Amino acid sequence: MDAKSARIVVVGAGQAGASLVARLRALGHAGPLTLVGAEPDPPYQRPPLSKAYLKGEMERERLHLRPTSFYEEADIDLRLGRSATSIDRETREVALDDGTRLPFDLLALATGAAPRRLPSAQGGDLAGVLEMRTLADADALAAALPRSSRALIVGGGYIGLEAAAVLREKGLAVTLIEAAPRILGRVAAPETADYFRDLHRAHGVEIREGAALDRLAGSDGRVTGGILADGDTIPADLALVGIGIRPETALAEAAGLATGDGILVDAACRTSDPAIFAAGDCARFPHHGHPIRLESVPNAIDQGEAAAAAMLGAEEGYLARPWFWSDQYDVKLQIAGLNTGWDRILTRPGGRPGAQSVWYYGAGRLLAVDAMNDPRAYMTAKRWIEAGVSPDPDAVADPARDLKSLA
């Protein structure tokens, strides 16, 4: 089979799936190409949903990754509002929820991830309880704002903090609760958490750490507040749940593919079935000898494009260069690298008020940096990390030393 004429189906029309099909055509694939998306909208950007779009600063069409005409001109069969229900690996067909069966020679899974939801026993089914992941979620939150004055945010990760910033800017009283001893406990050093805690409190957000939710209370089917494990009650007419996401692996599991906190793939983005690939938030792949799963837009784009190249026979494997960002109020957080395994933290003031960077070292090696309103520190650290350069940490911590002189 000539891969460039193969029948290819891509399940998942998020950033990874959209990048994958576009790259396939750019690399010369001329066979039948189908992109299946469960949502009714064409592939769109997710980061602006909780920021510019929710604020009303970005129109819906501007969210689209490409104009709808692109898919027609590229001869990509775009199936929107359709979910894949099963994969038959023997007949090589994907079944959709409308009864359609799509034959494939090669298949890519870009199924993404879904937010973890509160169970109904904890009030997760009450009206006014929302998540922030999809365009529909953002629309539901926007519709709820005019009749809301007090918001409870469950979860002190980046999703919860970003939502807190927007809701405060919309004029709501905001209380954020985190069951762990501090916010950002799984993803950032205490120094970064201190920075954002102070930032949010300065904007009027009440942050309660070590505050586990027992359940959400309601009246007539609508949320009225949260009841903590210690019995304290927080009144609210809107609750936003940001307690993490889980990879969408059900389709892969039912097809008998290897999974484990994601769909397991090799360096070529290939699953345990050589005809099936995976990319984006759903994929768990090798990174410097350890399997990881990255939840980020840059990874979705790069891995989607790497999967496309591998499907057409490219030999080189995918090498992730992790970076992330978050916007909260007037602060842009930029993260380079992965901070897993750090044993030393140092902070460096930026060149203007409020600018700061937090540097992670492990066994003397620079692992990652969190840069708050400090793009110079971010770009410098990103280059060093990707090049395997680790400047002396004491020199990095010295504000009198110019970073460029340390390489």
Using alpha carbons only, give the angle 347, 395, 379 rounded to the nearest 5 degrees.
65
288 compared with 16, residue with greater pLDDT: 16
CA distances from 83 to 79, 251, 384 (A): 9, 10, 42
Which tens digit of pLDDT belongs to each residue from 174-230? 999 999 999 999 999 999 999 999 999 999 999 999 999 999 999 999 999 999 999
End residue of a domain, out of 278, 311, 344: 311
Residues 108 and 156 in one domain: no
Which tens digit of pLDDT belongs to each residue from 83-120? 999 999 999 999 999 999 999 999 999 999 999 999 99
Among 1-5, 167-171, 263-267, 297-301, name the one with the lowest average pLDDT: 1-5
Residues 298 and 343 in one domain: no
CA 257 – CA 268 distance, rounded (Å): 16
Using alpha carbons only, give the angle 293, 277, 26 rounded to the nearest 5 degrees.
105
Exposure letters 211-249 (e unless 16+ CB within 10 A, then b): bebebbbbeeeebbbbbbeeeeebebbbbbbbbebebbb
The phi and psi torsions of 73 (rounded to 5 degrees) equal -65, -35
Would residue 316 count as lying in a domain? no
Partner residues linked to 118 by β-bridges: none
Would residue 344 count as lying in a domain? yes
CA 229 – CA 167 distance, rounded (Å): 25
Count Cβ atoms below 10 Å from residue 13 Cβ, excluding itself.
Answer: 26
Partner residues linked to 407 by β-bridges: none
- List all residues 6 or more positions away from 105 whose beta carbon is below 8 Å from its beta carbon: 1, 6, 7, 8, 31, 92, 275
Would residue 324 count as lying in a domain? no
Would residue 72 count as lying in a domain? yes
CA 280 – CA 273 distance, rounded (Å): 18
Q: Is 59 exposed, middle or buried (0-12, 13-18, 19+ CB in 10 A)?
A: exposed
- Work out whether the CA dihedral 71, 75, 76, 82 comes out positive or negative: positive
Among 4-8, 67-71, 403-407, name the one with the lowest average pLDDT: 403-407
CA distances from 11 to 8, 74, 84, 104, 318 (A): 10, 18, 7, 11, 20
Residues 110 and 121 in one domain: no
Which tens digit of pLDDT belongs to each residue from 53-84? 988 889 999 999 999 999 999 999 999 999 99
Residues 258 and 173 in one domain: no
Residues 163 and 218 in one domain: yes
Which tens digit of pLDDT belongs to each residue from 336-391? 999 999 999 999 999 889 999 999 999 999 999 999 999 999 999 999 999 999 99
Would residue 64 count as lying in a domain? yes
- DSSP, collapsed to helix, strand or coil, labels residue 153 as strand
Q: 297-311 and 15-26 helices cross at what angle (nearest 10)? A: 40
Does the pLDDT of residue 407 top 80, yes or no?
no
DSSP result, 324-380: EEEEETTEEEEEEE--TT--EEEEEE-SSTT-EEEEEEETTEEEEEEEES-HHHHHH
Do 228 and 211 touch, CB atoms closer than 8 A?
Answer: yes
Task: Provide, for the chain, the percentages of residues in helix, strand and coil under a 3-state DSSP scheme, each rounded to the nearest 5.
Answer: 30, 30, 40
Q: By residue range, what is the domain housing residue 259? A: 3-114+246-311
What CATH number does residue 352 fall under? 3.30.390.30
Q: What is the pLDDT of residue 406?
A: 80
Q: Is 174 exposed, middle or buried (0-12, 13-18, 19+ CB in 10 A)?
A: buried
What's the whole-number average pLDDT of the chain? 96
Provide the 8-state DSSP code for 317: P
The phi and psi torsions of 68 (rounded to 5 degrees) equal -60, -25
CA 360 – CA 371 distance, rounded (Å): 11
Percent of the chain with pLDDT strictly greater than 90: 92
Antiparallel, parallel or unpaired: β 206-209 and 276-278: unpaired
289 compared with 148, residue with greater pLDDT: 148
Q: What is the pLDDT of residue 175?
A: 98
pLDDT band at 124 (very low <50, low <70, confident <90, very high): very high
Q: Is 359 exposed, middle or buried (0-12, 13-18, 19+ CB in 10 A)?
A: buried
Which tens digit of pLDDT belongs to each residue from 235-281? 999 999 999 999 999 999 999 999 999 999 999 999 999 999 999 99
Q: What is the pLDDT of residue 351?
A: 82
Would residue 74 count as lying in a domain? yes
Residues 271 and 163 in one domain: no
Residues 224 and 261 in one domain: no
CA 229 – CA 215 distance, rounded (Å): 8
Residues 135 and 221 in one domain: yes
Antiparallel, parallel or unpaired: β 323-328 and 331-337: antiparallel
What CATH number does residue 56 fall under? 3.50.50.60
Residues 73 and 134 in one domain: no
Does the pLDDT of residue 291 top 70, yes or no?
yes
Residues 211 and 273 in one domain: no
CA 348 – CA 357 distance, rounded (Å): 5
